[in-house]
Amino acid sequence: MTPDQLITFSVVAEYGNISRAARALHLSQPAVSGQLQALQQSFGESLYRRHGRGIALTSAGQRLLLPANRLRAAMEEAFDARKANQTLAAGTLRIGASTTPASYLLPEIVAQFKRAYPGINVQMITGNTGEIIAKLTELDVAVLEGELSPDTLNQCNVQPWTTDEVVAILPPSHPLAKRKSLDLNELATQSLIMREDGSGVRNLVIKAFASQNLAISGYLELAGVEGIKQAVRAGLGVGFVSQLSLGHEDGTLVGIPVNEGLTRSIRIVLPIRGKPSKVTQAFMLAMQRPS
């Protein structure tokens, strides 16, 4: 017996008539009769008998009807799921994003995406770059800042999206706050505040100092952008954050470019190299912006 035969049997049992069932299935009456005959031969017993202009199920047919109905319902559910997926009427999108894009770039894009596709359940996981890379297998798409490991570049589909600049932040009262730009040599003499290990900002800043053979030690380490800002406001030293994070500041912080130009890429990472899902493709289309 085949799934098609069982589904046909379920429809015939519902209509109680082979001709009406054939019309509902968009098949010819001989095709439906042929499937029923093949099913009976496979089952080894008569499943129905003629009754007036229709059919009546035998006791064997009644027993087979239950699994046939379950199979038909499962197939109809599968077809409904396929239709919903193709039309983006339902589904789930799992996004991973490092701190800067999660806080300052993606919220508006996600809001627009949800307005366009209200049936899609969006789940966004945030963390520093290292934390999101560790969870790539759980995601449909990730948006990451800074450098990526060779393994990530080789195993994933990585696409450029946009760029970002990391600036030094100080309180307005700091002696360097009036400067148009700052040099790494000057910054190396200051009390510095760094993001936690795994942060794209931290990696970029430390690499910049290392490129100038400048040793930094004894810096204060804090998790998260807001922690860095609060420490700088409190006068604990000079911090480093994305320029994007200063967009809504109230004047309690000053962001100053570093001469070395602490710029970095923000990239889209697809955990699989194959064609992304329709939901993921729709989200990437919503993300289109100058790179």
d(CA 60, CA 65): 9
pTM over 0.75: no
User: 64 lies in a domain?
Assistant: yes
pLDDT one-digit tens code per residue, 65-96: 999 999 999 998 888 788 777 778 888 999 99
Whether residues 156 and 126 share a domain: the answer is yes
212 and 251 part of one domain:
yes
Residues 140, 100: one domain? yes
Name every residue whose Cβ is closer than 8 Å to that of residue 215 and which is 6 or more positions away in sequence: 188, 209
Could you read off the pLDDT of 198-209 as tens digits, one per residue?
888 999 999 999
Residues 35, 154 within the same domain: no
Instruction: Using pLDDT thresholds of 50, 70 and 90, give the confidence band for residue 290.
Output: very low
- CA 224/CA 185 separation, integer angstroms: 25
Provide the pLDDT confidence category of residue 154 given band limits of 50, 70 and 90: confident
Closest C-alpha to 36, from 21, 25, 47: 47
The CATH number covering residue 251 comes to 3.40.190.10
Same domain, 36 and 79: yes
27 and 98 together in one domain: no
Which of these three, 63, 85, 107, is where a domain ends? 85
**Domain containing residue 11: CATH number:** 1.10.10.10
Q: Are strands 157-170 and 254-256 parallel, antiparallel or unpaired?
A: antiparallel
Q: Does residue 173 share a domain with residue 248? A: yes
Clarify whether residues 99 and 77 are in a common domain. Answer: no
Distance CA 235, CA 229 (A): 10
Query: Which domain, by its residues, includes 206?
Result: 163-264
